[in-house]
Chain A
Amino acid sequence: MEIPTTAAMKPTESKAQFDSISDARVEDAGVAIAALVDEFAGTLYRVAYSVLRNAADAEDAVQETYLRVLRHRNSLSEIRDPRVWLVRIVWNVVLDRKRRAKTRPETDDIADLARMLPASGLSAEERVASAQHHEHVLRAVTQLPEKEQRVLILSAFEELSSVEIAQILGTTESTIRSRLFRARNLLSNVLSHSRSVR
């Protein structure tokens, strides 16, 4: 997607002309941001939800992301890949919020979340078993180190490549690959250990 670029700033002779150009710039930026909302609000919500696991918090994070974009509307034309840029912003917003709400227990959230995951075409018993499995997996993911956990969460988004994940997390692609490999191994160990305990 290409962001509608704002009108180029040129030296003006009269104040009226300057005002009309700046108004046009503001209007163009508004149009560009509206297009970004229509295109990426869903993706940003899903990214926020996968970390926060709370619908209201995720929506707040999305709104805050677009407010930040609005504040930096003058530099919209410099953005090359708006999707990665927006995911990066929402990722930072989400991590900030998670850091602030660290004291809140997540135990109930995980159980609720596991029940919310789709299980169409399954019988009632199978749904319960599926929810238990999801809960088990999500708890195992929370036991991973933070860096591995982040890479694993972002890699679940099919629209994000490893290069884009690297851009979002501010690191290199090879680091992402090695972290993902380590995360998968750790997750497998945690899951097999918890199964043997059970």
Chain B
Amino acid sequence: MTQNFRNSEYENTSQAEETLRLLAELPPPADLKDRVHYRLAAERTKPMHRSFWSLWMPAQRLQYAAAAVLVVAVAGSTWGVYHTRPQAGQKAGPSTQIAPAVPHDAGGFGTAGAERVPPTLSPIKVPPAPKKKPSASKMAKPSPKVLAPQAAQQTSPTPAANQ
């Protein structure tokens, strides 16, 4: 039984492989080589792909050299920009105006109404306004909240006084 099964298995496989072998032995077209030769010849005679740079600079070594010079120039200028700025600032001093120090008593919005005066203009001196003494008739009345505790102190007798 097992032997029969093995035999049929072998037969199956060998027949299948015979089919694959026939497939592998199918003859190629007669003029295949000629067509391949023709295609290769056409590819060889085709003008080479020329890039934009090759029009301007034909030698490849020169192109590489020019590209290297460009890279070095860009790298050098970048390095220069990042490394020379702080030194120039130290020599020339601060280019911006420093705001005057604000006293702490003025609060958080002390400079809100400040006017910037350009240093090129001479400041206009304004004479100080005359101080007027407030007259008695125009004197503002004190608020009742301020007066109330004083009145309460005067009217209510202290516990010590009652005793």
Chain A contact residues, CB within 8 Å of chain B: 30, 33-34, 37-38, 41-42, 45-47, 49-50, 55, 59, 62-63, 66-67, 70, 113, 116-118, 133-134, 137-138, 140-141, 152-153, 155-158, 184-185, 187-188, 191-192
Contacts and interface: CB of A to CB of B under 8 A. Distances in A.
A113 B16 contact: no
20 contacts: A37-B33, A37-B37, A42-B32, A42-B33, A45-B28, A46-B24, A49-B28, A59-B29, A63-B36, A66-B39, A66-B40, A70-B44, A116-B26, A117-B22, A156-B23, A157-B24, A184-B17, A187-B16, A188-B13, A192-B8
A144 B98 CA distance: 83
B23 A113 contact: yes
Interface of B: 8-10, 12-13, 15-17, 19-29, 32-33, 35-37, 39-40, 43-44
A138 B33 CA distance: 28
Contacts of A67: 39-40, 43
| Majority secondary structure, A binding face | helix
A138 B36 CA distance: 29
Contacts of A45: 28-29, 32
B128 to A, nearest CB: 91
B40 A62 contact: no
Given A116-B26, A156-B17, 12 more contacts: A33-B40, A34-B37, A34-B40, A41-B32, A41-B36, A42-B32, A59-B32, A70-B43, A137-B16, A141-B16, A184-B13, A185-B9
A38 B34 CA distance: 9
Nearest to A73: B44
Contacts of B12: 187-188, 191-192
Contacts of B40: 30, 33-34, 37, 66-67, 70
The 7 closest A-B pairs by CB, nearest first: A156-B20, A45-B28, A137-B19, A156-B24, A191-B12, A188-B9, A188-B12
Contacts of B28: 41-42, 45-46, 49
Find the residue from A42, A55, A137, A158 having the highest chain B CB count within 10 A: A137
A63 B23 contact: no
A140 B44 CA distance: 43
A153 to B, nearest CB: 6
Contacts of A152: 17, 20
Given A70-B40, A137-B15, A156-B17, A38 B33 contact: yes
Contacts of A155: 17, 20
Given A192-B8, A192-B9, A55 B29 contact: yes
